[in-house]
Each structure stands twice: as structure tokens, then as C-alpha cells.
Amino acid sequence: MSETPDKSLIPASPSEDEYVRQVTQAEPPPLLSEDDPFALFADWLKEAGEKEPNDPNAMAVATADEHGLPDVRMVLLKDVDPEGFVFYTNLGSAKGRQLAANPQAALLFHWKSLRRQVRVRGTVSPVSDAEADAYFATRARPAQLGAWASEQSRPLPDRLALEKRIAEAGLKFGLGKVARPPHWSGFRIRPQTIEFWRDRPFRLHERLVFQRAEGGWTTERLYP
């Protein structure tokens, strides 16, 4: 019989005094800029790179399976420009199969140290072979061999089976260049909406949404 989780493990909501200390310790920031979502994202990502202790480019990717049941996992952002947000994966993985069947996704960046998050929703398309080849070439050799060895999201009999496949991949390529596996590539999420969220005291957060429109973006501010 399982034990009841210890309720003390969940932090209590901040008290009014704690919120007041937050207010007195920092000047209210100016409102978020409505000019360009990708410029604003670049500014936030740069600051996250300076202050987040681990993986400032980490993002949650949400997809849906054939039953419409949501599925989410953390991946690493590997490129971003006005065309969208790019990550790479095994195409036979759960997310790879789900995106092939339903090319829509949502992303979430959460920078806890900065008390900020960015939400993205949009359509998905594969990157070009040239893009995938170029990025794959930058990966460390053991990671390249791992991409050949791993049948991502498939059942693994035991750890030895994976290590054996890695050794086999190493023998296959020897000391030569490791080519990109045909089952490994990238996806680009072209955003339809991008929401910037910034923490403010008393849960009165700032929310700014960019919506793609003909020839540009429209903006809207939301209640917290």
C-alpha cells in the first residue's frame, strides 16, 4: 500500500510580507516591447544564457498522439530565426511519429531564475537535409554514434543492448566521419502565437501575446 505524499514537500504560497519584500527590492520594469517577438525572445534567451545554471535553451515540446492525448518532453532548442524554432530528434521517436501524423506543436521555455516563460504554438515542418547535416556535424562523435545506436522511445531489453549497438556503430565507422542517420533529423515550429510571461508580485503577472497576421504580428495583453 503506497504512502500518502508528504504535503510539506510543496512550498506554501508566498505571504503578503514576502510579496512586499519583492516589490521593495526592485523597481517595476518597463512594459514588454510590442515591436518584434523574435528580437524580444533573443534578448530573453541571451539573459537566460548569462543567469540560468543549466541548459538555458531547454524547452518543453508538446504534441498529441493518435487519440488526441497530449504528450510533452524536454528538448534543446538548436536554432531560432523569424521562420521558427528548431530542434532535432530520432524520427522514429514518439514525438517524431506524432509530428509526422499531426504536424502541430506547442513549446514552453521556463527560465526559473529570471521568473519568465515563453509559450509558442504553431505548425511544424521538417528542416532541410542540408540543415540537419550541418547540425549533426557539430555533435560530439559519441553523440553521433548514439544517434545510430538508439531506437528512441522503443523498448530497451537492458543497458547492455544499447552499449552493444553503440560499439557496433563505432566499428562501422571506425576512425572515419560519422554520417547522419536517415532516421535522425530536425523539426521547425513556425509560430502562430508567441506569449511572453513575466512574474510580478501578488500573481499580477505581465502577459503579452503576439499573433501572426498578414505581413507581421498583432499584439494583445492578457489578464494574469
Total Cβ atoms within 10 A of residue 212: 15
Per-residue model confidence as pLDDT tens digits over 48-64: 999 998 999 999 999 99
pLDDT band at residue 22 using 50, 70 and 90 as cut-offs? low
Taking the C-alpha atoms of residue 190 and residue 179, their distance in angstroms, rounded to an integer, is 28
Nine-digit cell at 119? Answer: 509559450
Closest CA to 111 of 43, 49, 173: 49
Helix (H) / strand (E) element for 220: namely strand 216-222
Identity at 4, one-letter amino acid code: T
Q: List, in sequence order, every residue forming a beta bridge with 124; answer none if it has no partner.
A: 189
| Active-site residue, 203 included | yes
Closest CA to 94 of 144, 147, 152: 152
DSSP letter assigned to residue 183:
T
Per-residue model confidence as pLDDT tens digits over 122-168: 999 999 999 999 999 999 999 999 999 998 888 888 888 899 999 99
Task: State pTM to two decimals.
Answer: 0.88
Radius of gyration of the chain, Cα coordinates, nearest whole angstrom: 21
Taking the C-alpha atoms of residue 206 and residue 196, their distance in angstroms, rounded to an integer, is 8
Q: Which one of the listed residues 203, 207, 212, 221 is annotated catalytic?
A: 203
Q: Spell out the alpha helix ranges (H) of 102-211.
A: 129-136, 141-149, 159-173
pLDDT of residue 190: 98
